Structure 1
């Protein structure tokens, strides 16, 4: 991909994000994205076949950012895992952007009625859970997880479910600080038995 095409693609993605956030994913046309980016339809079709494909490019960017944020925050404790400290790091850096949540929620509804699109979205969400589960698995010998979660995979599902719940509330309340605080409380409660002392095997 040439530098010019990279810049064109980036401008289309930025413009699409702005238009999707303002109007809703299902209410935006390719022409509107092109107009916002300052390009022709030809520029769009040289980079994306459909608006779904463009959205998945947006989703990949943010899913990868979130996965990196979580993995980096969980990687600082060595072989063990100080859960309260790691949760504090995760909630401090985690992407909580209302515009992105609006776009993602619109697309979730769109995908729910289209099985092939839904599966692609599920695959992207699985990547985030995998990053969390991998770190929890590597810490399992030194850090106890509540048995009710069923191991690292179950814990990863719980973490993502907590994130989904808090971000849904954030859409309504628009209070990012409160969302971060609630997410911290939920994750600490989910991943510990009430103790802040790492478990020694």
Structure 2
């Protein structure tokens, strides 16, 4: 009986904080964004200056992949909300805002990593970063279809980096 009372108390507290499933999702989404931002800050602090080292393309791709979350369940949830965004402007607005926060935090790390290889984006840094994020999410969305999804993700991101950058 005490367990049931605790469950009701938890449910009451839960519903007092979250009115809809969207509210729960966006709270989780903000938490995930904060985790990624912390990871990006740690990676940026760990990256050498251009005078210290010259990076290979493989090391740049590895840095990018370490920065991005690998969580197929999360990607499935996010993809579901992205599908809803097609018909729900309020969901689209929040997802766009969060995507831009991720881009804003990831972009300096990507640009610095490219600088270490002597490469630069063919287009704007913003568009390049969005393409890397899109490639990562696309590979993650397809991961259940592959025996080795990490190899696919690496190949997709490496292809984006090679295709959308040039030697300086």
TM-score, reference length from structure 2? 0.73
Residues 101, 167 of structure 1: 8 Å contact kept: yes
Deviations 1:102-148 (A, max 9, x none): 211112112321101210111011111001223355678775413x2
Distance 2:66 2:43 in 1: 9
Residues 144, 192 of structure 1: 8 Å contact kept: yes
Q: 1:103 aligns with which of 63, 70, 77?
A: 77
For the aligned residues, what is the CA RMSD? 3.1
How many positions carry a matched residue from both structures? Answer: 158
Extract unaligned runs of 5+ from structure 2: none
Task: Summarize the alignment of residues 1-201 of structure 1 with structure 2, pairs less than 5 Å apart.
Answer: 38-40=7-9, 41-80=11-50, 82=55, 84=57, 85-92=59-66, 94-136=68-110, 143-146=118-121, 148-150=122-124, 152-173=125-146, 175-190=148-163, 192-193=165-166
TM-score, reference length from structure 1? 0.63
Extract unaligned runs of 5+ from structure 1: 1-34
Distance 1:112 1:50 in 2: 19
Deviations 1:160-179 (A, max 9, x none): 12112212221433643323
